[in-house]
Amino acid sequence: MPDLPPDKPLRPDQVALDHDPAVTADAARLGFIGRLRTPWSRGNCPKNLREARELGGRFRVEVDPEFRPALRGLQAGQAVILLYWTGQARRDTLVLCPPHREEPTGVFALRSPSRPNPIAIGVVRILLLDAAAGRLEVDALDAYDETPLLDIKPWLPSVDVPPAT
């Protein structure tokens, strides 16, 4: 099994796989399309976008040159969904003991970066857009500086808001 972050040992109620899913997966092949630029690093990164917005800072999405034509149609003021790779997180953990929960909780019921496929999602608003330079300034990001970007999708209220139950 690959090295897992030593500063993140399992607690007694946590559950982990006996292997790293990245090693045994039949796997999709993903390519990064850019990176996130933030003031965050290990030890000072907010847990979610709400905290990042409260803390403030400068948050930028940088899209690699070959993918910049795909920015056509986006505009400042628009909400977008970012998918990004939290690859420094554990991939073997299935149940965590987050401080905001009273009991151990499965990672599919959490937004934790520790999960079999460390893909994070963030819904952010574009503040400034320079498509030619591949730069989007956004209202917040909750990831380490240089986090790889997987995709950008428009957030559409007519599609992305579930119907009332």
Which CATH number fits the domain that encloses residue 85? Answer: 2.40.30.70
Segments forming the whole domain that contains residue 144 = 30-90+118-157
Tell me, yes or no, whether 79 lies in a domain: yes
In angstroms, the first-to-last Cα distance of the chain is: 43
Tell me, yes or no, whether 86 lies in a domain: yes
Query: Cα dist. 112→35, 78, 161 in Å?
Result: 20, 26, 22
Query: Which DSSP symbol is given to 51?
Result: H
Give SS3 for 21. Answer: helix
Surface-to-core class of residue 122, CB atoms within 10 Å of its CB (0-12 exposed, 13-18 middle, 19+ buried) = buried
Closest C-alpha to 149, from 103, 80, 95 = 80
From the DSSP assignment, how many helices (H) and strands (E) are in the chain? 3, 9
Question: Could you read off the pLDDT tens digit of each residue along the chain, which spans 165 residues?
Answer: 344 454 567 778 778 777 776 676 666 778 899 999 999 999 999 999 999 999 999 999 999 999 999 999 999 999 999 999 998 888 888 999 888 888 999 999 998 888 999 999 999 999 999 999 999 999 999 999 999 999 999 999 999 999 887
Domain count, the chain: 1
Tell me, yes or no, whether 25 lies in a domain: no
